[in-house]
Structure 1
Amino acid sequence: MPATWTDDRVDTLTRLWRDGLSASQIARDLGGVTRNAVIGKVHRLGLSGRAAPHVPGARRSEPRGERRYRRPQIAAQAIRPASVTPAAIPPVEPVPDTGLATILSVRWSQCRWPIGDPLADGFRLCGRGKARGAYCAAHGALAYRPTERNHLMKLAGLR
């Protein structure tokens, strides 16, 4: 069933496209052609613009670029109680660098804190049991340091 694009079919395609019908609707009306054939012919004819765009649902209320998540603004007074100072972030105790595991011997349940230069022969990983993320408790405290704002919000009960 070779459907050729006769002048009548091209005129019908052009009229229906400008009326705002979808490629699927045009293919059904013409018969013997697929939606993709209609789209290809539209592009070859250069029929880019339409009189009225065919929109099956409601239009978007805001442009795509403005649909991003917006973080709520919190007043500085709400997150900084008078009794809390920036020095309230607990200090981190030093961890002895003993290196118990290598890249090849480390287990899924062991700390992966790197110790030494990765290109040197003596490079090791911590190897203690994991407690926080991929690290032991001591290295997790180093890796996941709270920012002053987050720490203050936690102390103020806002988080």
Structure 2
Amino acid sequence: MNWTDERVEMLKKLWSEGLSASQIATQLGGVSRNAVIGKVHRLKLSARGRTSSAQPRVKKTVTTTTVKATVRPTRPVTMTVGANALATQFDAEPIARQVMRPQENVVIPISRKLTLIQLTERTCKWPNGDPLSEEFNFCGNEAGENGPYCGYHSKVAYQPVSERRRAR
């Protein structure tokens, strides 16, 4: 389908009248809703008219007058409707987060500060520091039978599934 000058003018007219892209595609025929949206963006058509069923969502107008201590509508007073949602009051106390602690006392081991070349199958491979710095090293303490880390670093690295779900 080619966009002729007549079809582009019809598109501009229908867009300014507030028709949806689907309605415009139906009236033009031979063109999809997405093609209409793409052409509208390429033409940079941003201003739209409102259809009769659409109502403004931004502002409400309230009019009031005073006659013998009775309030009656006369002059417009503009009130915003949607922007007040950003002015939230926080009266509630902050929620305390639960801190998970190990069930037994765990002593943090003093790192042996081994380099990559010094590691064996029986040493803890927990990295310490930035791998790009010269001070980078590994824990190096004796690793357990079940993994690459010592007892302390195993508890840090591997959390039971039930604790991970509660932390979310």
- TM-score normalised by structure 2 residue count: 0.40
Structure with the largest fraction of strand:
2
Task: Give the structure with higher Rg (CA).
Answer: 2
- TM-score normalised by structure 1 residue count: 0.41
